[in-house]
Amino acid sequence: MEYNEGESANVVGWKLNHEAALIQHNRHSATSGILLESVFSFGLEAIRTTAILNGGAVIAVFAFLGALYGKDGSAIELARELLPAAFTFAVGALLAGVASGFAYFAQFLYSGAHDDVKLTWEHPYCDNPPSQDRRLRWGIFWHVLCVCAVLASYGCIILGLIGAWAALKG
């Protein structure tokens, strides 16, 4: 913004305040975008990892069970012992899908909370209305559910591996 000699102190003050507001508005937009993108990408990778691990384990166990089909009685007994592990892996894969739904809700609410910010021309230049607090609280709720579902999915991997190992060992 240009400043001319002879402008009143009020005009110069207004211009300085306007520039400060524009800087704050741009900073708000840039940092929020970067933070939301990084949180989303890390969460997505965690969900993908657990979905691939559990889904691959389910396929491997069912392929092994298919190879045992039609064998003698001990093979059928082994197949029965492996079924709980296969079920555990399937539950883990389902939890990964549920976690992605929870992540969608959290991201939707976080984005809405970001959009609720009122950009003003007076200090502090960004006003947080009550609707933003409500959206943030619900976003955190869905976020926590997503993290719990991902952790439970990883737990299913561990339990399924222990169950498969016990069935093959015994």
Q: DSSP assignment of 79-118, as one string?
A: HHHHHHHHHHHHHHHHHHHHHHHHHHHHHHHHHHHHHHPE
Q: Is residue 2 part of a domain?
A: no
Q: Which residues, other chains included, contact 82 with Cβ-Cβ below 8 Å and sequence gap of 6+?
A: 61, 64, 65, 163, 164, 167, 168
Q: Is residue 19 part of a domain?
A: yes
Query: In the prediction, which pLDDT does 93 show?
Result: 93
Query: In the prediction, which pLDDT does 3 show?
Result: 62
- 143 within 8 A of 106, measured Cβ to Cβ: yes
Q: Is residue 117 part of a domain?
A: yes
The domain tally of the chain equals 1
Separation CA 88–CA 156 (nearest Å): 6
Q: Is residue 3 part of a domain?
A: no
pLDDT in tens, 77-129: 888 888 999 999 999 999 999 999 998 888 888 888 877 777 777 777 777 77
Q: Is residue 131 part of a domain?
A: yes
Q: Is residue 4 part of a domain?
A: no
In order, the DSSP letters of 45-75 are HHHHHHHHHHHHHHHHHHHHHHHHTT--HHH
pLDDT confidence bin for 1, thresholds 50/70/90 = low
Q: Stretch 136-165: mean pLDDT, rounded?
A: 95
Range of the domain at 104: 9-169
Q: Is the dihedral of CA 139, 140, 146, 150 positive or negative?
A: positive
pLDDT at 45 over 80: yes
Query: In the prediction, which pLDDT does 126 show?
Result: 74
Mean of pLDDT over the chain? 84
Q: Is residue 1 part of a domain?
A: no
